[in-house]
């Protein structure tokens, strides 16, 4: 960046910091609904006004309670509400429906509607099950640029909390964590940079408050630089006032000046602010009143941290401490353990003049104003119906994915190894350390190429390690995931000695790319992590971090995160190496492209299940992508109607005629790029044997658009039969031999050597159709493998795999798949009752391709949906994929455009395209620029550049017989893609 650019950036940054520090907005709940507030206030006795300032703890699942189950169980809490008229409840462990029911029970028992609070720093999941868990604030601290997504997270959390009947979130954490050994804040902080902490805290706070949720920034005046957990002791902050004022207080000032509704006071000993020995800041008037209320001008609600914590109870008993807290200036006492004693002590403080009744009344008014602001003046019970669904919207999953994606941080990238390129040169193993089974990380890695997986538990046996060492020597790249089970330093972040030593061995191979799923400070516990080939910090161990880290490694997404804290001298604050995306498929959810998951899934499920239920096909796989983002992948049904094996996303299908455009046309485009294949040359130019045939002067452009008068097909196996149905000599044999070396099906039928020449001669000598016009023909495609070999010098299959499939990571694409896959991974097709007389399973369905040994240009290719889609994504991206331009843009343009529209032909070169009048060959809403193909076995692929849509449909509709054509009659294949078009059109 030029010097002028840097200065301008600094100027803007300072301006924004200045805005955060100077613009002041009072809390929005003040002076709201005064008529209701005054009415309720007048109905309260002096004791009840005190009680409005008290929040007690509750759980909705006593069995899981980590707090005292005697004082937090619903019966005990309800008694406090009825007898003492407390003002609020703080919920801890439980579940959403139980909490909703107990909330309604408590509200019904209360004279004044209760304020319900939770610690939900990273979502309701911080306290209750079956709810959304957003990233920790440390993870969010790694995000650069706009904080709009953090605002959106706050907005979503607010809606979820309010749906559950919760009115206050004790968040955001505004502490600046600059102590790697901090046992209590750490991952809960946005980081160590006060400006970034302030910006992100304000965005989070605004998202919550602007959507109806009260907040409480914590832990004032700053808990970030401590080595003691205030849950267990009273931490000491030894910094001077200048340091505290300039650093720790900065985020709180920014929040206050932006309308913060609440602040939580920490239990800290801070001699620079209050010299009273062992006095927690919670009980300090100089800190709560003089500093927060007067100097910083905070007008909102001041909450105590939990009054049962050792940070306060170590030196001050329950009740007495609570009264001292109000004397210091707090408005709300959280987690008061002995309500009766607390009220008695507060009344004593009033009687002795340490606090006035007027002060109590003023604070009671504020609490009531907050209650009115959250709508408790028109209280309605929590509706339990659809609660789980409402608390887990797909929009939350999208925000989770996007936040995680933007946070992932590369800390080492030797020779720019990430993102991975040239997949055909890599033999990859993945090793998940600290896991007990194949991980999400590993499953996503497998979406991109062939990866062999190994799992090493936290405490492996020596035998496991010995086996691992022996197997890894044959790989040239190791993708290592370090799965840390603890986010806290108390548990050494979940890093065992065995994991650490194993990791060092892997790093020492000089082949390891390491991804750390855990607290960034864990890098201080790992021996020489900087020696890895590449190091990726994912900040947490979640399905999102694992999934997206794998996608980043392969270049489906860029790396843009920066370290929000200083770990050590090797990894200082703001470390982070940016890497680009390489145009590989990204895997996400429909919401990322603006679609509704539930609606899309319901509609596609309906169509696919109809296909299975009406026996149009035993099963199928549907995969859809837009803008290079795979948003729908689902398998339906079983391999066979009578079988029990469910279809898997990774199952291989016989692609039938989709071979034409995923193999033959691909190879021809490549040769066209290399100027070895001319579309305007004639058949004799590349097939010398055709020089004297009736096809000699047919131009390839005509041939490839099915308009060269070629016959549709020749029943080649019939030509090998005698009139009585027996096979002619030198055609087939039931036993394998030198003369009959090639299997047509299994071990029961073999074809005569060099019989392919007979097949090619039969095509050469076949008559032409009398009339010109479009006639779909297999014949020329049978010839392309020999043309490719003649022009390239490589075997057809080798050419495709070496130049395309392996580079794309599309390694399931293969002919004769039984060489590499078990039959349980391959979906069967027809029960052949007229030629091969057997169940076809792992052999090509097409008879002509079978007679060519399973390898032909018109049929014979097998693969799974994901790998087929990679080829088609390359087509959509005009030949670009994985950082390589594998085909030219010109080739894609030329081959996928209408060639003879003036003749009414809808064909491209090899590719099918939409008819000019809708005939059902393509999706109804497909654009004129779209292209695709169908396959006889029940396959369809379609790409639409105008919409950037990519569609793969795999099925075995020919099982058990080809006579079943319901898949076309019911319009299954095109109807599924039209669901997406219709959704996008809306």
The single residue listed with the structure tokens 């300072």 is 14
Does 23 score more than 60 pLDDT?
no
Name, in order, each residue with C-beta under 8 angstroms of 378's C-beta and a sequence gap of 6 or more. none
Query: CB–CB of 950/877 below 8 Å?
Result: no
Model pLDDT, residue 627? 98
Using CA atoms of 879, 882, 885, 888 in order, give the dihedral in degrees to the nearest 10: 0
Give yes or no: 305 in active site: yes
Does 414 score more than 90 pLDDT?
yes
- Please give, one letter per residue, the 3-state secondary structure of 393-433: CHHHHHHHHHHHHHHCEEEEEHHHCCCCCCHHHCCEEEEEE
Query: CB–CB of 879/889 below 8 Å?
Result: yes
The chain-wide mean pLDDT, for the chain, equals 95
Q: What angle do CA 12, 121, 84 make, to 5 degrees?
A: 130
Query: CB–CB of 168/216 below 8 Å?
Result: yes
Query: pLDDT of 262-300, one tens digit each?
Result: 999 999 999 999 999 999 999 999 999 999 999 999 999
Cα gap 562→132, rounded to integer Å: 25
682 DSSP β-pair partners = 699
Model pLDDT, residue 4? 44
pLDDT band at 838 (very low <50, low <70, confident <90, very high): very high
Does 608 score more than 70 pLDDT?
yes
Rounded alpha-carbon distances, angstroms, from residue 186 to 251, 410, 878, 930: 16, 20, 47, 52
Model pLDDT, residue 24? 59
Which range, of 33-47, 664-678, 742-756, averages the lowest pLDDT? 742-756
Does 476 score more than 90 pLDDT?
yes
Q: How many helices (H) and strands (E) does the chain have?
A: 37, 31
pLDDT band at 14 (very low <50, low <70, confident <90, very high): very low
Residues above pLDDT 90, as percent of the chain:
92
Does 64 score more than 90 pLDDT?
no
Cα gap 921→968, rounded to integer Å: 10
- Please give, one letter per residue, the 3-state secondary structure of 457-490: CCCCCHHHHHHHHHHHCCCCEEEEEEECCCCCHH
Cα gap 905→912, rounded to integer Å: 10
Look at the alpha carbons of 881, 882, 888, 890 in this order and tell me if their dihedral is positive or negative: positive
The DSSP code for 134 is P
Name, in order, each residue with C-beta under 8 angstroms of 963's C-beta and a sequence gap of 6 or more. none
- Please list, residue by residue across 52-61, b when 16 or more beta carbons sit within 10 angstroms of its beta carbon and e when fewer do: bbbbbbbbbb
Mean pLDDT, range 344-355, rounded to an integer: 97
Cα gap 379→976, rounded to integer Å: 46
Question: Can you tell me whether residue 592 is helix, strand or coil?
Answer: helix
pLDDT band at 70 (very low <50, low <70, confident <90, very high): confident
Instruction: Tell me the H-state helices in 841-935.
Output: 847-851, 865-876, 889-896
Which domains are present in the chain? 3-391 (3.20.20.300), 408-582 (3.40.50.1700), 604-677+795-985 (3.40.710.10)
Give yes or no: 231 in active site: yes
Model pLDDT, residue 71? 87
Model pLDDT, residue 19? 42
Query: CB–CB of 89/114 below 8 Å?
Result: yes
Q: Among residues 175, 225, 274, 305, which one is catalytic?
A: 305
Structure tokens at 588: 């996400």
Query: CB–CB of 344/319 below 8 Å?
Result: yes
> Could you please report the per-residue DSSP string of 941-967?
EEEETTTTEEEEEEE-TTSS-TT--HH
Does 8 score more than 70 pLDDT?
no
Query: pLDDT of 846-871, one tens digit each?
Result: 999 999 999 999 999 999 999 999 99
């Amino acid at each position: 960046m030029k010097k002028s650019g840097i200065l301008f950036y600094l100027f803007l940054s300072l301006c924004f910091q200045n805005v955060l520090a100077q613009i002041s907005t009072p809390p929005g709940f003040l002076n709201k609904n005064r008529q209701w507030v005054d009415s309720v206030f007048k109905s309260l006795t002096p004791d009840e006004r005190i009680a409005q300032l008290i929040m007690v703890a509750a759980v909705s699942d006593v069995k899981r309670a980590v707090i005292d189950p005697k004082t937090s169980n619903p019966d005990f809490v309800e008694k406090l509400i009825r007898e003492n008229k407390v003002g609020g409840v703080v919920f801890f462990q439980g579940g959403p429906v139980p909490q909703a029911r107990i909330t309604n029970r408590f509200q019904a028992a209360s004279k004044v509607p209760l304020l319900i609070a939770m610690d939900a720093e990273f979502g309701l999941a911080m306290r209750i099950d079956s709810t959304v868990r957003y990233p920790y604030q440390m993870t969010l601290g790694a995000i650069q640029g706009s904080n709009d997504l953090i605002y959106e997270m706050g907005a979503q959390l607010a809606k979820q909390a309010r749906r559950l009947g919760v009115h206050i979130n004790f968040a955001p954490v505004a502490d600046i964590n600059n102590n790697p050994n901090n046992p209590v804040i750490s991952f809960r902080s946005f980081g160590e940079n006060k400006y970034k902490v302030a910006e992100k805290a304000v965005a989070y706070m605004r998202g919550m408050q602007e959507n109806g949720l009260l907040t409480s920034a914590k832990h004032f005046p700053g808990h970030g630089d401590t080595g003691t957990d205030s849950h267990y002791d009273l931490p000491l902050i030894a910094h001077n006032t200048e340091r505290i004022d300039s650093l720790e207080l900065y985020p709180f000032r920014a929040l206050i000046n932006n309308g913060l509704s609440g602040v939580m006071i920490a239990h800290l000993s801070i001699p620079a602010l209050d010299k009273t020995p062992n006095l927690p800041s919670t009980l300090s008037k100089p800190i709560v009143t003089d500093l927060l209320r007067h100097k910083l001008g905070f007008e909102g609600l001041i909450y105590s941290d939990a009054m049962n914590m050792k940070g306060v109870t170590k030196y001050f008993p329950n009740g007495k401490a609570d009264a001292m807290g109000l004397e210091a200036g707090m408005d709300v006492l959280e987690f008061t353990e002995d309500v009766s004693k607390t009220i008695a002590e507060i009344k004593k403080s009033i009687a002795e003049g340490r606090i006035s009744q007027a002060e109590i009344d003023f604070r009671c008014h504020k609490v009531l104003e907050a209650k009115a602001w959250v709508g408790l003046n028109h209280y309605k019970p929590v509706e339990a119906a659809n609660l789980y669904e409402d608390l887990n919207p797909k929009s939350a999953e999208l925000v989770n994915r996007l936040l995680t994606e933007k946070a992932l941080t590369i800390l080492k990238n030797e020779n720019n190894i990430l993102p991975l390129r040239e997949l055909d040169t890599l033999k990859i193993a993945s090793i998940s350390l600290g896991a007990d089974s194949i991980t999400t990380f590993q499953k996503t890695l497998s979406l991109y190429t062939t990866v062999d997986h190994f799992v090493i538990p936290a405490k492996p046996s020596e035998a496991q390690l010995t086996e691992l060492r022996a197997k890894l020597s044959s790989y040239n790249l190791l993708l290592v995931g370090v799965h840390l089970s603890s986010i806290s330093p108390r548990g050494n972040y979940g890093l065992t000695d065995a994991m650490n030593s194993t990791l060092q061995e892997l790093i020492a191979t000089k082949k390891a790319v390491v991804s750390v799923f855990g607290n960034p400070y864990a890098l201080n516990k790992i021996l020489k992590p900087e020696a890895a080939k590449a190091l990726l910090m994912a900040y947490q161990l979640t399905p999102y971090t694992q999934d997206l880290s794998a996608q980043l490694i392969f270049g489906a997404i860029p790396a843009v995160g920066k370290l929000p804290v200083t770990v050590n001298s090797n990894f200082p604050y703001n470390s982070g190496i940016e890497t680009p995306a390489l145009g590989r498929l990204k895997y996400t959810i429909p919401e990322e492209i603006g679609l509704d998951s539930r609606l899309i899934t319901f509609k596609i499920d309906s169509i696919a299940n109809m296909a299975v239920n009406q026996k149009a096909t035993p099963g199928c796989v549907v995969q859809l992508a837009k803008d290079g983002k795979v948003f729908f992948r689902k398998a339906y049904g079983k391999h066979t109607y009578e079988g029990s094996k469910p279809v898997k996303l990774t199952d291989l299908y016989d692609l039938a005629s989709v071979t034409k455009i995923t193999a033959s046309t691909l190879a021809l485009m490549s040769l066209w790029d290399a100027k070895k294949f001319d579309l305007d040359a004639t058949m004799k130019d590349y097939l010398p044997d055709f020089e004297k045939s009736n096809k000699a002067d047919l131009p390839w452009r005509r041939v490839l658009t099915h308009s060269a008068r070629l016959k549709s097909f020749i029943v080649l196996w019939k030509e090998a039969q005698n009139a009585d149905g027996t096979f002619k000599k030198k055609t087939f044999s039931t036993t394998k031999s030198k003369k009959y070396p090639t299997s047509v099906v299994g071990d029961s039928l073999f074809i005569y050597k060099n019989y392919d020449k007979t097949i090619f001669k039969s095509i050469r000598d076949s008559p032409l159709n009398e009339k010109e016009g479009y006639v779909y023909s297999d014949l020329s495609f049978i010839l392309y493998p020999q043309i490719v070999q003649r022009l390239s010098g490589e075997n057809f299959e080798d050419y495709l795999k070496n130049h395309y499939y392996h580079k794309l990571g599309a390694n399931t694409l293969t002919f004769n798949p039984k060489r590499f896959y078990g039959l349980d991974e391959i979906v069967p097709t027809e029960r052949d009752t007229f030629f091969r007389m057997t169940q076809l399973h792992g052999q090509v369905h097409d008879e002509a391709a079978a007679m060519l040994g399973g390898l032909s240009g018109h049929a014979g290719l097998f693969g799974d949906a994901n790998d087929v889609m990679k080829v088609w994504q390359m087509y959509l991206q005009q030949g670009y994929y994985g950082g390589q331009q594998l085909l030219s843009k010109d080739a894609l343009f030329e081959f996928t455009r209408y060639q003879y529209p003036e003749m009414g032909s809808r064909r491209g070169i090899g590719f099918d395209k939409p008819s000019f009048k809708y005939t059902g060959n393509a999706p109804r809403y497909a654009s004129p620029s779209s292209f695709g193909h169908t396959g006889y076995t029940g396959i369809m692929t379609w790409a639409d550049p105008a919409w950037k849509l990519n569609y793969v449909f795999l099925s075995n509709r020919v099982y058990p017989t080809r006579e079943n054509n319901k898949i076309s009659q019911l319009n299954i294949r095109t109807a599924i893609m039209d669901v997406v078009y219709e959704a996008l059109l809306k």
